Amino acid sequence: MTPGFEDELRAAKDGSLLQRLFRCARLLNEHALRTLPVAAGPTPRPAHMALFPHIDLAGTRPSELAEKLGISRQAVAQLVGDLEAMGMVERRPDPDDGRARRVAFTTAGRRGMLEGLVHLATIEAEVAAELDAATMAKLKEAIPALEAVAEALAARSTRGDGPY
Backbone angles phi, psi at 122, to 5 degrees: -65, -45
Taking only the tens place, the pLDDT of each residue in 44-75 is 888 888 899 999 999 999 999 999 898 999 99
pLDDT for 163 equals: 55
Beta strand ranges found along the chain (DSSP E) = 89-94, 97-105
pLDDT for 55 equals: 95
**Tens-level pLDDT at each residue, the chain (164 residues):** 677 899 999 899 889 999 999 999 999 988 998 898 876 667 788 888 889 999 999 999 999 999 989 899 999 999 999 999 999 999 999 998 888 999 999 999 999 889 989 999 999 999 999 999 999 999 999 999 999 999 899 888 876 655 55
Contacts 24+ apart (CB under 8 A), 71-80: 76/51, 79/47, 79/48, 79/51, 80/51
pLDDT for 46 equals: 86
pLDDT for 137 equals: 96
pLDDT for 33 equals: 86
Q: Among residues 28, 2, 6, which one has the least CA distance to residue 130?
A: 28
pLDDT for 135 equals: 96
pLDDT for 143 equals: 95
Q: From CA 161, how far away is CA 108, in angstroms rounded?
A: 40
Q: Which amino acid is at 59?
A: G
